[in-house]
Structure 1
Amino acid sequence: MPSPVPRAASRLLLDVFQAASQPRAICHCVRIDSVYRKKVASTRGYATTTVPPTQSAATEVENGAPPRWARTPPSMTAPVRVRTGYRGGRHEVNKDPQKLDEVYENLLGPGGHKLLSEETKWLAVTHKSFDHGRRGFNDRLAFLGKRIVELQTSLTMLSIKDTASSKASNPDPHGRQPFEHPALEGIERLAEPSRSWVTYHKQVARVAEDYGVPAVPKSPAASGADMVHAQAIFAIIGALALEKGSAVANEVVRERILGPLLQSAR
């Protein structure tokens, strides 16, 4: 059995634990508390004075600085170029705003170049392969635009009234009569092959070329131009939905994209 701890030793241990549990005195010469307060205050001040992107772009134009689409941001440019003999890409890149406005006029109709802001117009037609994505690219706009096109494609295919011809062309070999209901008319058109044909990138790329989107002069199929053109069309639809609302975007999809595609399929 262990021997009991002497009273003096237990008193000493109790004093040590009480001293450790008490808060330590802060040295006023260091002023740690004041230092942290200054950091919090400066952070809040910086957060409240952040300039929105639209105001910053307008400030750059007023100061005479080129917009983001016209140059690579200096902070993302290396001080020394690794490829000393680099003379640019193999394909010519459009830098003429008038040519871009003509594409928007053909796609969106008269005054179409005024529907989107200047920065968004260039962003919607910029692929991520251009300048390594340092000037922005249209992936997110294209993702939103494709979802809108798919939805309008489903609604349009449901509204087509030619169920009688489809039943006559596909009779049941066993003479069975399927269940019929007005709400189920045309539901077969929502099958994956029918809807994916409309949103297939090669089909949308043809629409883009009809509206004047520049094509790659040499070997378009091997260069992936079809995917780039289709993504540009989807991105324009996504940009319209964000800046002008879903009503404008849906109308453009029905009249300018689905109309020519369904007309060519007949």
Structure 2
Amino acid sequence: MASPRPLRSLLSTATSALGAAQPAQRALVRTSACAFSTTAPSRGPEYDTEAAVRPRWQQTPPRMVAPYRVRPKPQGPEFKVNQDPRRLDEAYSRMLGPGGDKVLSDEVKWLAVTHKSFDHGKRGFNDRLAYLGRRIVSLQTSQALLNAPQVEAWPRKSDGLPLTDSYGRMPFVHPALNGLPGLTGEAKGRVLDKSRLAGLAERYGLDKVTRWTPKRADNLQSSGLESVLNTSLYAIIGALALERGGEVANKVTQDKILAPLGFTFTAD
């Protein structure tokens, strides 16, 4: 009969060897994890120097550039946007008058004419400026409609009192309320019609300097040219309000937007 002692010694030897291997494996895992966690990410020096040399409106931020193009290039001709600062200054001078190219800072001048479709918005876009400018233009339009002479007014007697209606009622009349019938949504919509404002923007040359990416370069109207020009026009008013104050923005709105549309303003 064989003795069980050799079998017991074999099992004890295997168990001790396995127990000694497990701490070594855990130590190996801890060492590799520490090595990965303490490695500092590499950063090229070109990211620091390139952004300092060229402004954001002139280039896409390096870290926002994809390594390769995901979508295929669209069919048809390529739409080229303006990159000439002198051409942009001419448009601002045409809209704001002599010295208009010096009213806003360079960064804001480009931002006000940059649509969110251009470069996927990586260089900034003018939506927020346009929102502020649209509120300013809307307020000035309401005030202009209130002060505009009304074609149809309530008939009056020879002494200036209003006539009564068929039920014998006399309406309340006050000089401050004379223009109230003209302040309607339809009247305001006709004044700030998208096509009218787009034509005004083209007169100032904003269609030549607005940066955007149309869906079809061979058909800008169907790609939304009028909406893009409206946004640029409103954004310039918003930029003036932020950098030059509300008084300057109101004055430009009256003289450069509402006056060409048929309104007259008296000097205060």
What TM-score range do you get, normalising by the shorter chain?
Answer: 0.5 to 0.7
Q: In 2, distance between residues paired with 1:167 and 1:72?
A: 58
1:155 aligns with 2:143: yes
Contact in 1 for aligned 2:132/2:235 (Cα 8 Å):
yes
SS in 1 for 2:153: helix
Amino acid at match of 1:231: T
Matched residue, 1:75 = 63
Q: How does 1:46-125 map to 2 (within 5 A)?
A: 65-83=53-71, 90-125=78-113
Matched residue, 2:179 = 186
Q: In 2, distance between residues paired with 1:218 and 1:234?
A: 26
Amino acid at match of 2:113: V
Amino acid at match of 2:153: K
Q: In 2, distance between residues paired with 1:181 and 1:85?
A: 63
Amino acid at match of 2:225: A
RMSD: 2.9
Unpaired runs of 5+ residues, structure 1, are 1-58
Matched residue, 1:241 = 241
Amino acid at match of 1:189: G
Q: In 2, distance between residues paired with 1:230 and 1:172?
A: 45
Q: In 2, distance between residues paired with 1:144 and 1:109?
A: 22
1:166 aligns with 2:152: yes
Q: In 2, distance between residues paired with 1:235 and 1:121?
A: 10
Q: In 2, distance between residues paired with 1:157 and 1:112?
A: 28
Q: In 2, distance between residues paired with 1:177 and 1:232?
A: 48
Amino acid at match of 1:195: K
SS in 2 for 1:196: helix
Contact in 2 for aligned 1:128/1:139 (Cα 8 Å):
yes
Relative to structure 1, the CA distance from residue 263 to residue 159 in structure 2 (aligned partners, 3 Å threshold; closer, same or farther) is closer
Unpaired runs of 5+ residues, structure 2, are 1-48, 156-162, 209-213
Q: In 2, distance between residues paired with 1:222 and 1:172?
A: 53
**TM-score, normalised relative to structure 2:** 0.67
Matched residue, 1:261 = 261
Choose the corresponding residue for 1:202, options 183, 195, 207: 195
**TM-score, normalised relative to structure 1:** 0.68
Alpha-carbon shift at residue 84 of structure 1 (Å): 6.4
Which structure is larger by alpha-carbon Rg, 1 or 2?
2
Q: In 1, distance between residues paired with 2:118 and 2:263?
A: 34
Contact in 2 for aligned 1:60/1:67 (Cα 8 Å):
no
Contact in 1 for aligned 2:76/2:218 (Cα 8 Å):
no
Q: In 2, distance between residues paired with 1:177 and 1:219?
A: 57
Percent identity (aligned) = 49
Relative to structure 1, the CA distance from residue 81 to residue 87 in structure 2 (aligned partners, 3 Å threshold; closer, same or farther) is farther
More helix per residue: 1 or 2? Answer: 1
The CA deviation string for residues 66-92 of structure 1, in whole angstroms up to 9 with x for no partner, is 211111111111123324667998322
Q: In 2, distance between residues paired with 1:220 and 1:151?
A: 30
Matched residue, 2:17 = none
Contact in 2 for aligned 1:69/1:123 (Cα 8 Å):
yes
Alpha-carbon shift at residue 173 of structure 1 (Å): 9.4
Alpha-carbon shift at residue 200 of structure 1 (Å): 2.6
Alpha-carbon shift at residue 204 of structure 1 (Å): 1.1
Matched residue, 1:32 = none
Q: In 2, distance between residues paired with 1:192 and 1:85?
A: 43
Q: Which has the higher mean CA deviation after the structures are superposed, 235-244 or 198-207?
A: 198-207
Q: In 2, distance between residues paired with 1:227 and 1:138?
A: 13
Q: In 2, distance between residues paired with 1:207 and 1:78?
A: 38
Contact in 2 for aligned 1:125/1:232 (Cα 8 Å):
yes
Matched residue, 1:134 = 122
Amino acid at match of 2:223: S
Relative to structure 1, the CA distance from residue 84 to residue 204 in structure 2 (aligned partners, 3 Å threshold; closer, same or farther) is closer
The CA deviation string for residues 84-136 of structure 1, in whole angstroms up to 9 with x for no partner, is 66799832211111111111001100000100000000000000001110110
